[in-house]
Amino acid sequence: MGKVIAFKKPSLQEKHKGNTLCRRGFHKWVLESDKKFDVKLGKLVTAWRCQRCGKRRTKAL
């Protein structure tokens, strides 16, 4: 017979590590690209990305 492998269920702390701040609105924004031109807005746009969860936002200059 083969070996029996016990699978470890991740705890809630491990599952949501680093994500709880983002869910409460405290993102860690990092500059992704600076001064990109958006054709639809017709303006220069700065792109930001959250380092923890990957959410993106843009801000028109």
28, 19 Cβ separation under 8 angstroms: no
- CA-wise closest residue to 24 among 59, 53, 57: 53
Mean of the pLDDT values across residues 9-36? 84
pLDDT of residue 18 exceeding 90: no
- CA distances to 6, 38 from 3, rounded to whole Å, are 10, 58
pTM, to two decimals: 0.61
Q: Domain segments of the chain: what residues? A: 28-61
pLDDT of 17 above 80: no
The string of pLDDT tens digits covering residues 29-61 is: 999 887 888 888 888 999 999 998 889 998 887
